[in-house]
């Protein structure tokens, strides 16, 4: 009984300070956060990238009431190491993603560009190089999504808060 009273007494200041979970959607920071729609991104890496972004920022970002995230993805393979027969033995998937966050009315809220790379080895077993390439594409998409998420959150923090306009004063009337 005494322990419960002491615990309640210790937690009382937390309730008064506005304590909310860091990743919970109930806090004051999330009051102006709405859903973010992520446009389709073509290709396998684009599919992985969109899924990762939908998982990480689709529910909203504090600072953006709601928005549409558009991404243009370009990628290529860079050969890094060669075997004695001049066949590539190690390569990188290099990805560049340009992103634009738009308000529902089409106004550009923020934009940026990120670059990432994911390495993979060519294996001697049949079809092992395909599995390595697919895994590298998934890693590249995850790296790009993390970087885009960080930039979107940073851009949202730089946004000036929208202050609602005060209602016009009502003129006082006197009755005779």
Query: pLDDT tens, 15-65?
Result: 555 554 444 544 555 556 678 888 999 999 999 999 999 998 877 787 777
Give the global pTM: 0.69
For residue 100, the number of C-alpha atoms closer than 13 Å in the C-beta half-sphere is: 9
96-132 confidence digits (pLDDT tens): 999 999 988 888 989 999 999 998 876 666 666 778 8
- Distance, in Å, from the CA atom of 116 to the CA atom of 133, rounded to the nearest integer, reads 15
- Identify whether 168 is part of a domain: no
In a domain, 145, yes or no: yes
Mean pLDDT, residues 66-89? 79
Would residue 114 count as lying in a domain? yes
Scan for tokens 């995230």, then name that residue: 69
Report which of residues 9 and 105 the model is more confident about.
105
Q: Report yes or no on 125 lying in a domain.
A: yes
Say if residue 27 is exposed, middle or buried (CB neighbours under 10 Å; 0-12, 13-18, 19+).
middle
- The answer, yes or no, to whether residue 173 has pLDDT greater than 50, is yes
- CATH code for position 124: 3.30.160.150
Alpha-carbon distance of 49 to 80, in angstroms, equals 24
Evaluate whether residue 60 is within a structural domain: yes
In a domain, 64, yes or no: yes
Does residue 22 form part of some domain?
no
| Domain count for the chain | 1
Q: Which residue segment(s) compose the domain that 38 sits in? A: 30-158
What's the pLDDT at 49?
93
Token pair for residue 167?
Answer: 């209602």
Task: Spell out the SS3 assignment of 22-65.
Answer: CCCCCCHHHHHCCCEEECCCCCHHHHHHHHHHHHHHCCCECCEC
Q: Tell me if 127 sits within 8 A of 112, measured CB to CB.
A: no
């Amino acid at each position: 009984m005494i322990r419960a009273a002491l615990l309640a007494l210790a937690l009382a200041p937390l309730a008064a300070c506005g304590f909310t979970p860091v990743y919970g959607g109930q806090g004051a920071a999330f009051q102006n956060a709405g859903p973010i729609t992520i446009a389709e991104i073509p290709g396998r890496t684009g599919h992985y990238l969109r899924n990762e972004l939908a998982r990480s920022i689709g529910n909203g970002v504090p600072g953006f009431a709601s928005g549409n995230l558009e991404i243009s993805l370009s990628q290529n393979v860079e050969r890094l190491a060669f075997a004695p027969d001049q066949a590539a033995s190690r390569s990188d998937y290099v990805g560049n993603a340009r992103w634009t966050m738009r308000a529902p009315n089409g106004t550009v809220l923020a934009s940026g560009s990120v670059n990432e790379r994911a390495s993979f080895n060519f294996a001697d077993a049949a079809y092992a190089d395909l599995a390595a390439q697919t895994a590298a594409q998934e890693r590249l998409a995850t790296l790009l999504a993390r970087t885009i998420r960080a930039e979107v959150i940073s851009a949202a923090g730089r946004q000036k808060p929208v202050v609602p306009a005060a209602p016009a004063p009502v003129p006082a009337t006197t009755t005779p």
